Copies of this chain bind each other. A is one copy, B any other.
Amino acid sequence: MKMGASVNFKDELARRTARAEEILKQYLPPEEGFAAQAARAMNYSLQAGGKRLRPVMMEEAWRMYGGTGREIEPFMAGMEMIHTHSLIHDDLPALDNDDTRRGKPTSHVVFGEAMAILAGDMLLNHAYETMLKAFCMTEHPDRAARALCVMAEKTGIRGMLGGQSVDVENDGTPLDRDLLNYIYENKTSALIEASLMTGALLAGAEQAAVEVMEACGRRIGLAFQIVDDILDVTGETAALGKPVHSDEKNHKTTYVTLYGLDRSRKKAEELTEEAIGMLEQSGTDCAFMKELFRALSARTR
């Protein structure tokens, strides 16, 4: 039955990804009026074909903890906007200077550097404008307020953007293990933690359950980034949609340079199994989330 389950999982994941796409579409800025080009720049990156991993995780955490109603939707869309904001700014000439992402030209290549900077800003702001709509859709404004606080903390200097800024600051210098873990846990884990936490929070989960989601997210985010490091060495450009061996070329410290391929693989698997163990203790129907965690750890692109 294992294989049958996996086939079902792939179908179910495709269904949920399509649903996340649909929800995101409802909150895209309209491409009209004087600022039509700005909206086109935002939508170009939002619709450049991401995995929609974070909103899918958010919705599943919400389902696991018994969420009903529609207030999860603006949060799912907002999460993807925050993630996309970070990709546009990451790719800028002053940061990673990447011309392609997911096989497509990056925002500053298509719209120019000034508009790419502003499109990133507008997406971050639009995420809040979107998530705030939950207040008009919920009978639990206190939960929406708490979820917004989590989103803001995990996005900002104590989360993704903090990790990103420490990464930038140490660009080109060798990193020790503490610093690399700090960067990964913030740059990558923080938004995954926020996805799982806000899903649970909006569903009305207890604080202890929200903390379990945070602990899961930290591990899955770190495993995700370690697999990224591995694929940069072992993957193929065509499959990944981005150049491989870029870490080596840029003399970047990664899990692979610090620990080697085998220990990195083992670490990613361990972290994934730890997170799965936590799910199994959570008393929820967590079959889909477990498969999702395992699929992320075993992914080849």
Chain A residues within CB distance 8 Å of chain B: 29, 34-35, 37-39, 41-42, 85, 89, 92, 94-95, 112-115, 117-122, 124-126, 128-129, 132, 135, 141-142, 144-145, 148-149, 152-153, 155-158, 161-166, 168-169, 171, 179, 182, 186
Contact = CB atoms under 8 A, between A and B. Distances in A.
B35 A157 contact: yes
A157 B115 contact: no
Contact of A124 (B42, B94, B121, B144): B121
Contacts of A164: 118
B114 A162 contact: no
Given A162-B38, A165-B38, A124 B126 contact: no
A13 to B, nearest CB: 30
Given A118-B165, A118-B168, A157 B95 contact: no
Pairs A-B, 5 closest by C-beta atoms: A38-B165, A94-B113, A129-B152, A35-B162, A125-B156
A186 B37 CA distance: 15
A132 B117 contact: no
A132 B161 contact: no
Given A38-B162, A122-B161, A156-B126, A114 B168 contact: yes
A115 B37 contact: no
Contacts of A155: 125
* A contact patch SS: helix
A155 B122 CA distance: 8
A35 B165 contact: yes
A122 B165 contact: yes
Contacts of A38: 157, 161-162, 165-166, 169
B42 A157 contact: yes
Contacts of A128: 128, 148, 152
Most B C-beta atoms less than 10 A away, residue of A118, A155, A158, A169 = A118
Given A115-B165, A182-B34, A132 B149 contact: yes
5 contacts: A92-B117, A115-B168, A118-B164, A120-B121, A129-B152
A182 B166 CA distance: 38
Contacts of A125: 124, 152, 155-157, 161
A35 B167 CA distance: 10
A112 B165 CA distance: 11
A55 B175 CA distance: 41
B165 A148 contact: no
A194 B295 CA distance: 46
Nearest to A153: B129
Contact of A115 (B148, B149, B158, B169): B169
Contact of A117 (B89, B158, B163, B171): B89
